[in-house]
Structure 1
Amino acid sequence: MLFIAATNHNMPLSRFHDGELADGLLKDLGDSIAQRMGLHARYVSVPAKRVADYLASGRADGVCYVLPRWLPGPFNWSQPLMPDSGVLVSRPEAPAVRALSDLANKPVGTVLGYSYSMIDSALGRAFVREDAPSMELNISKIQHGRMQYAIMGRMTAEYLMRSEPQHKLRIDFEFDPFKAQCAFSQKSAIPFGDVQRAIGSLVSDGSIDRLLRHYR
């Protein structure tokens, strides 16, 4: 069973070694789905902008931590699995930001190709994106003082603040809560009904919750 490992993710979702997925929540989740179906999970590293093409063409069976509004296309969707939200992470000396409107005309670390529709709606042209190819690069920039603010997922931010407390980063506010899903190719040879049953059993027996707790 071949899963896409989108290369724009970092821990706790994904850790890459020599370009291959080596660790993280998404590897554990893919392994668990495949094992529940009596299959072996494999992973192909794909840039975020090519994920939809890979999945639509059947070059991979599935990808996790996505939403239909992020990944348009004719895909089969799992039930919601992973609760998360967007947060604004700030350096300790940066002025506090309490609402999206406070970000107007302030450079904010974002990921190339990501859509931030709520912020776009709130700020319009006053949303000053500082795009990087991955969240890992944005994290490095904010840690080293090259930017004051960055947008990331709450899971990523909390993991970062636990693992590297010396940077004293803070979460200023949360927005756009969601429950991420997995998407599966309609050209996959693996019946989607089998996938749904495997994921449903992982949810009902508490396996998904245990995976999430491991990274919190």
Structure 2
Amino acid sequence: MRLALGALLFFCLNVATADTPVRFVMADSWAMPMVQLEQGRPTQGILYDILLSLATQVGVPAEFHVLPRARVQNAMEHGEVDVRCYAAQSWLPNQSGDYIWSIPLFLQRDLLVSRKGPPTSVLPADLQHEAIGTVLGYIYPTLQPLFDAGQLQREDARNQEQVLDKLLAGRYRYAVSNQWTLDWFNQRLLPDQQLQAVAVLQEQNVGCYVRNDPNVPVQRILRTLLRMKMSGEIDDIIGLYTGQSDNTPSPL
């Protein structure tokens, strides 16, 4: 009888553990093709598809928490969420807590972008008294000295898509965009309207990190991410939304 009860208890504990969701955090400043947010909930996009596939392969439900960017790390530190993706350790110099990082999974390529014109390249240091379209709260290391000196001025918008909408409307001559968003944005425009990259500001490998907690299947998550990257699944999802591989070289 005791053996039967013990086996039943073990089975129930395993079921409870399997049904415990992994809590993924997303910043509300993200836009397509990273993620589409509708009424504060993700519905599609590169990171949404990748994380949903990750949870399915790990064998746990996925729970998405959409937070203001300034609250994301605090939520990780307080155990409110378990996994953050599309981040780099250099972005979090004062990170506190016990986390384990994945291998690099994505290439973050920040570009200086302008409206359509003759093919050209621009040196940001040569620009004078220009307003630059930027995302509120984002840090741009290449441009920061120019902002600090007053040579360039930030024109902040809530998310990356709004930045490009303002550029297209002529609110300013230049804006910063990551490669994914630029590719996605241009897909809906006629060739003579498409925005163009005029400088590569920064390229950096980014990945995911997981809160190191016994209630989180940390190693299964990391092994699955590795397998998804090595199999080409992650790059295939990126290509589905952007028409390009994550490793496609910059035209500049």
TM-score, structure 1 length as denominator?
Answer: 0.90
Partner of residue 245, structure 2: none
Identity %: 27
**Residue 181 (str. 1) matches residue 207 (str. 2):** yes
2:168 aligned to 138, 143, 161, which one? 143
Residues 94, 148 of structure 1: 8 Å contact kept: no
More RCO (CA 8 Å, sep 6+)? 1
Matches within 5 A, 1:13-32: 13-32=34-53
Following the alignment from structure 1 to structure 2, what is the Cα–Cα distance between the partners of residues 48 and 149? 24
CA 1:97/1:103 → structure 2, altered by over 3 Å: closer, same or farther?
A: farther
Gap regions ≥5 residues in structure 2: 1-21, 243-252
8 Å CA contact 1:83–1:180 kept in 2: the answer is yes
Distance 2:111 2:175 in 1: 8
Instruction: Give 2:239's aligned residue.
Output: 213
The answer to whether the 8 Å contact 2:161/2:185 transfers is no
**8 Å CA contact retained: 1:112, 1:131:** yes
CA contact under 8 A between 1:9 and 1:135: conserved in structure 2? yes
- Matches for 1:10-159 after TM superposition, within 5 Å: 10-72=31-93, 73=95, 74=97, 75-92=99-116, 98-121=122-145, 124-125=148-149, 126-159=151-184
Q: Which has the larger radius of gyration?
A: 2
Cα RMSD (Å) = 2.2
Q: In the alignment, is the contact (CA less than 8 A) between 1:60 and 1:188 conserved in 2?
A: no
How many aligned positions are there? 216
TM-score, with length taken from structure 2: 0.78
Q: Deviations over 1:99-152 (max 9, x none)?
A: 121334211011111111122246641231112222122122112221221101
Q: How far apart are the structure 2 equivalents of 1:188 and 1:101?
A: 49
Cα displacement (A) at 1:93 = 6.2
1:47 and 1:188 mapped to 2: Cα distance? 27
SS of the equivalent of 2:197 reads strand
> C-alpha offsets along residues 35-87 of structure 1, whole Å, 9 cap, x if unaligned?
12111212111111111111111111112111122234133211100123110
Deviates more, 1:107-116 or 1:73-82: 73-82
**Gap runs ≥5 in structure 1:** none
Q: Are the counterparts in 1 of residues 29 and 69 from structure 2 also a CA contact under 8 Å? A: yes
